[in-house]
Amino acid sequence: MLSWKDVIHFATKGNPDPDRRVEKSEEEWKAELDAETFKVTRLKGTERAFSGEYCEAFEPGKYSCRCCGTLLFDSAEKFESKTGWPSFTQPVQENSIKYEKDSSFGMVRVEILCNTCDCHLGHVFPDGPEPSGLRYCVNSISIKKES
């Protein structure tokens, strides 16, 4: 189980290698994604709170990256955070998420990205439920439910 200490270690010392890499040009991503999905996933945008498709969804299933299909989260780790974005306590695998320090907007946070294709997912915070204490705050538009 990942902890906040692990997240900080990855964000400062380097991330685990992904199982595979998907690399495409900006033009290729633009051709595959609609404008809003491109803005959030490739330009690090954020969808409006409480507007996402999976914000209030708690049915069993798995969630993958909207851009490359890599499995990222399981609904068994999803919880109601009352933040307006889907929240998870753990990724499905340690190497499915990439962690980067984000100093934008006058804050210091840890950005989460798909470790396979660098899709911007959201941010992770140390204010989630036990036992991990983590809250992976994810844009619905960055993920898709598989089952």
Q: Which two tokens stand for residue 134?
A: 């983590």
Q: Considering the entire predicted model, what is its pTM?
A: 0.95
DSSP class of residue 9?
Answer: H
- Residue 86 and residue 136 in contact, taking contact as beta carbons nearer than 8 Å: no
pLDDT tens string 64-103: 999 999 999 999 999 999 999 999 999 999 999 999 998 8
Residue 103: the pLDDT is 82
Which residues lie across from 100 on neighbouring strands?
111
Angle, CA 109 vertex, CA 125 and CA 4 arms, to 5°: 40
Confirm or reject CATH 2.170.150.20 for domain 4-145, answering yes or no: yes
Give 103-110's long-range contacts (Cβ < 8 A, gap of 24+): 110/7, 110/8, 110/11
| pLDDT, tens digit (0-9, with 9 covering 90-100), for 11-54 | 999 999 999 999 999 999 999 999 999 999 999 999 999 999 99
Q: Mind telling me the catalytic residues?
A: 137
- Hey, where are the domains in the chain? 4-145
| pLDDT reading at 145 higher than 90 | yes
